[in-house]
Amino acid sequence: MQLLIQGLGLNNMEKTKQISDSILKKRLRRFKSIKRGYYSLIILVSLYFISLIAPVLINNKALIVCHANMEYDEGEKFEDNNNNGFWDQNENYEDKYHYYFPAFGQLFSFIINENYHEASFFGQDSIMGKRKFGEPHYRLLKKQFKDEAYGNYVIMPLYPFGPYEEVLSERDELFKDLNKNGKWDTGEPFEDANNNGERDEYYPALFPDSINILGTDNQGRDVFARLIYGLKVSLSFALIVVFFSYIIGIMMGGMLGYFGGKVDLFGLRLIEIFSAMPFLFLMMILASIFKPSIILLALMYMTIVGWIAITWYVRGEFLKEKSKDYVSAAVSMGQSTWKIIIKHILPNALTPIITFAPFAVIGYIYSLVALDFLGFGLQPPTPSWGELLVQGKSNLQYWHLVIVPLSAIGGTLFLITFIGEAIREAFDPKVFSRLR
C-alpha cells in the first residue's frame, strides 16, 4: 500500500513537472510564432552584440600591426664580416617581425597587457608635414607601410573609424608648398580630392559618402561609429537599470504584498515620498556637483524612480496570490515564510512583470536620450544619441545629423515594442495556464 502511495506521488510530481515544462515550451513556441517579435529580438540582440564588440569591428585602432624596424637591435642575429662585434650597414642581419594588437588590447585591457607605443616607434614621424606625437594614425600607417614595401603591414577593422577621432584633417587636399609660405598659391601643384579644380579646406561636417557612410558630425567625427557606440551606451544603461530595479522592486513589493499591515503602510508612505521627488531638479543639482557617468545615472534611476513601478506591480500580484488556496495549503503544511514567497508565490507573480520589462527598457532609453539632449546626462565626448540630436538641432542644414539619430532611436524603440507585445501575448495566462 505504501509503495502504491509513493508511486502515485511520484507520478503526480512527474505529471506536474511535465505540465510546467509544457507551459513554458508552449509560451516559447507562441513567442516564436509571432514573427515581428521574434525577428525583432534577433535583430536587436545582433545589433547589441555588434556594439559590444565594436572595438574589433568599428575602430580607428589596428587589429594587427606587423612591424620590423629595419634596424639592428641587440639580440638579433647578424653576419659580422669585419669581426668587430657591431652591425654595419654592409652586413646582413635577421630583422624579426613583431606583432601588436592595439584594438584587442583596448577591448580586453583586463587580460591583454598591450604596451603603448608612440607613432615614431613604427616610423610614423610626421603626417602631412607636421610632427606626429602620441599613438599612431593607423589608417595612414597602413598606407605608409604599403608604400615602403618592407613587408610591414597593418590590418584594420571592418569599418576603420572610431567614435572620438576627428577624421577630416586627413582628407584635406595636399599641395606642394613651393614658396614655403605655408599656404597654397596659384601655380603650386595639389592633390584635388573633390575634383573641383581648387584647393579646399575641410568643412566642419560632411554629408554621407563612400568613405564615411553616415557622414561626420560638427566636430568632424564619424556619425556611424558614434551611432553604434551610442547604441551600446543606451541599451547597457537601460538593461542595468531594469535588472537592478527589478531586484529592488520585487523584494519591496513582495514584502509589502505578503506581510501587509504596518509593513505595507510604511512601505506605501516611502513610495509616495520617492514618487513626489522632482527627479529632473535632482539631476540638475547632481550634474552641477558631479560629472554624470553611466554608473552614476544608473544608480540614480535605480534608487530614486526605477523600483517604484515594479514595486506596485509585484505588491498587487502578491496581494492577489496570497489569498489563493495553494498558499493556504503551504502554510498548513508548515512551510517557512520565505519558502512560500520564493517557491510558490513569486513564480506565479512574475508573468505580468516579465511582460512589462521590454517597455521599461524603452522608457529608460528615452530617459537617457532626454537627459543627454538637455545636457544633464553623459558628457561629451561620450557617444550618445542625445548628443547627436543636439548636433542635429544646431545644424539643421546637415540633414543626416537630424535623420540618422531620429531613425536609430525610433527603429530601436519599434523593435523593443514588437518584442514586448510578443512577450505579453505569449505569457498571457488566458492563453496558456496550468488548466489549459
CATH number for the domain harbouring residue 365: 1.10.3720.10
Tell whether 257 is covered by a domain.
yes
Count of domains observed in the chain? 2
| Domain final position from 156, 176, 196 | 156
Query: Which helix (H) or strand (E) segment is 130 a member of?
Result: strand 130-131
**Region class of 197: left (phi > 0), else alpha (psi between -120 and 50), else beta:** left
Give, as one character, the DSSP assignment of residue 347.
H
- Burial (CB < 10 A; 0-12, 13-18, 19+), residue 139, is middle
- Burial (CB < 10 A; 0-12, 13-18, 19+), residue 135, is middle
Q: Are residues 143 and 239 in the same domain?
A: no
CB 162 within 8 A of CB 107: no
Give percent of the chain with pLDDT exceeding 90.
Answer: 23
Task: With a cut of 80, say whether residue 282 has pLDDT above it.
Answer: no
Task: Considering only residues 84 and 317, tell me which one the structure prediction assigns the higher pLDDT.
Answer: 317
The pLDDT value recorded for residue 47 is 95
Task: With a cut of 50, say whether residue 369 has pLDDT above it.
Answer: yes
Assign 342 a pLDDT band (cuts: 50, 70, 90): confident
Q: Are residues 360 and 282 in the same domain?
A: yes
Tell whether 124 is covered by a domain.
yes
Tell whether 170 is covered by a domain.
no
Q: Are residues 263 and 127 in the same domain?
A: no
Task: With a cut of 80, say whether residue 85 has pLDDT above it.
Answer: no
Assign 91 a pLDDT band (cuts: 50, 70, 90): low
Question: Would the pTM count as exceeding 0.95?
Answer: no
Q: Are residues 349 and 370 in the same domain?
A: yes
**pLDDT tens-digit map of 197-243:** 777 777 678 889 888 999 999 888 999 999 999 999 999 999 999 99
The pLDDT value recorded for residue 10 is 46
The pLDDT value recorded for residue 106 is 66
Assign 113 a pLDDT band (cuts: 50, 70, 90): low
Q: Are residues 304 and 357 in the same domain?
A: yes
Q: Are residues 33 and 136 in the same domain?
A: no
CB 63 within 8 A of CB 158: no
CB 385 within 8 A of CB 237: no
Q: Which three cell numbers stand for residue 362?
A: 524603452
Assign 400 a pLDDT band (cuts: 50, 70, 90): very high
The pLDDT value recorded for residue 74 is 59
Q: Are residues 273 and 416 in the same domain?
A: yes
Task: With a cut of 60, say whether residue 435 has pLDDT above it.
Answer: no
- Domain carrying residue 70: 60-156
Task: With a cut of 50, say whether residue 5 has pLDDT above it.
Answer: no
Q: What strands, in cross-sheet order, belong to the sheet with 64-67?
A: 98-100, 64-67, 153-155
Q: Are residues 48 and 111 in the same domain?
A: no
State the average pLDDT for the chain. Answer: 81
Tell whether 325 is covered by a domain.
yes
Task: With a cut of 80, say whether residue 295 has pLDDT above it.
Answer: yes
Q: How far apart are CA 339 and CA 245, in angstroms?
A: 23
Tell whether 376 is covered by a domain.
yes
Q: How far apart are CA 86 and CA 360, in angstroms?
A: 70
Task: With a cut of 60, say whether residue 4 has pLDDT above it.
Answer: no
The pLDDT value recorded for residue 17 is 47
Q: Are residues 50 and 71 in the same domain?
A: no
The widest CA-to-CA distance across the chain, in whole angstroms, is 111
Tell whether 200 is covered by a domain.
no
Tell whether 363 is covered by a domain.
yes
Assign 395 a pLDDT band (cuts: 50, 70, 90): confident
Q: Which three cell numbers stand for residue 388?
A: 547627436
| Domain final position from 106, 124, 156 | 156
Task: With a cut of 80, say whether residue 22 has pLDDT above it.
Answer: no
**pLDDT tens-digit map of 204-215:** 788 898 889 999
Tell whether 107 is covered by a domain.
yes
The pLDDT value recorded for residue 80 is 57
Whole-Å CA distances, 161 to 30, 62, 168, 222, 322? 42, 10, 11, 7, 57
Q: Are residues 38 and 74 in the same domain?
A: no
Taking residues 361-390, what's their average pLDDT?
88
Q: Are residues 257 and 399 in the same domain?
A: yes
Across 139-148, 273-282, 399-408, 427-436, the highest mean pLDDT is recorded for: 399-408
Q: Are residues 288 and 347 in the same domain?
A: yes
| Domain final position from 140, 156, 172 | 156
**pLDDT tens-digit map of 162-183:** 999 888 877 777 778 888 887 7
Quick check: bond before 381 cis, omega within 30? yes
